[in-house]
Amino acid sequence: MELTTVWFVLVAALFTGYFVLEGFDFGVGALLPALGRDERERRTLLATIGPVWDGNEVWVITAGGAMFAAFPAWYATLFSALYLPLLAILVALILRGVAFEYRGMRDDPGWRARWDAAIVFGSTAPAFLWGVAFANIARGLPLAPDGDYAGGPLDLLHPYALLGGLVTLTLFVTHGAVFLALKTAGELRVRALRAAARVGPVAFVSVTAFAAWTLTVRASAASVVAAAAAVLALAAALAANRVRREGWAFLGTALTIGLLVVCLFAALHPAVLPSTLPTGDLTVSNASSSPYTLRLMTWVAAIFAPLVLLYQGWTYWVFRKRIHTGTADADHY
């Protein structure tokens, strides 16, 4: 396998890890006012993601860095074309991170309510905008002969992109609800199961429609298999949620998110950014760095990637237990 293809797969794997892990973070943040009926419950909800949310965001930083180093032309064109939605995502993530740290610093209901609103916005806005962004990547963008984006901001908001945003938003909320059912006990667990049961069918319909539409836009044998498997995984997750098997339900929603990302990247290859104009696509060949750069990056990744995975796996293992309302686990938030 050529190194350009290896790094295309690695970028896809990094985004897959990011959406699977950060997806439940976004879902928990979006559900904060709906499931947390008093301050103790809201602190408990935040404590479920408190030890891991910042580590989950490292995945997207690493994905962006890998894209920049391995495919600089892809990085430059994509981040200029999607400048406004990506800037909005960045601002929302910054606001969300500040809100996690600041909400518990004053014993003032108004103060906490404002930061809670920031958490909800900082969770729902990126959850929607990531779907818009990746739907545009899958569909293709109008690229000028020099590779620059030839469209405007409103050109990004076509029906396929809006459906993509609905998919990620509803799927992440479902993923977050199932995660909360897995991590909490008592009444909070019951509410989380109910939330997943209510949002899950909307996610299922939107995922099915988006997968079918994607395969009409561009498809490969691998993308067809991944799309079908994603729909089946979500159906299995919702069935598991109905019988309160939240561990299996969480596995199902995680697989759904991962398989959807695989579907999009498998449909793209060998392109990294298709053009809707007759100017030619950006591909793994014409958008990549030099062979020397790719070889050097491969050695670095081979050494450090396993260490990062081991550390993050250890973090999830340490904080694997359920969190009960009113315990010391939630005091910080």
Q: Taking the domains of the chain in order of start, what are their residue ranges?
A: 3-293+303-330
Q: What is the DSSP string of 181-201?
A: HHHB-THHHHHHHHHHHHHHH
Class of domain 3-293+303-330 as given by CATH: mainly alpha
Q: Which of 89, 98, 88 is closest to 119 using CA atoms?
A: 98
Place of tokens 């993050």: 312
For residue 1, the one-letter residue type is: M
Largest CA distance in the chain: 61
How distant is the alpha carbon of residue 210 from its chain centre?
16
Structure-block tokens of residue 52: 């891991």
pLDDT digit string, tens, across residues 17-76? 999 999 999 999 999 999 988 888 899 999 999 888 888 888 898 999 899 999 998 998
Give the residue, 152 or 194, on which the prediction is more confident.
Answer: 194
Place of tokens 């896809």: 12
State the pTM of this model: 0.92
pLDDT at 328: 46
- In which element (H, E) is residue 283 found? strand 282-283
d(CA 92, CA 96) in angstroms, rounded, equals 6
Which residues 6+ apart lie within 8 Å of 206 measured at CB? 163, 166, 167, 170, 171
pLDDT digit string, tens, across residues 202-250? 999 999 999 999 999 888 899 999 999 999 999 999 999 999 999 999 9
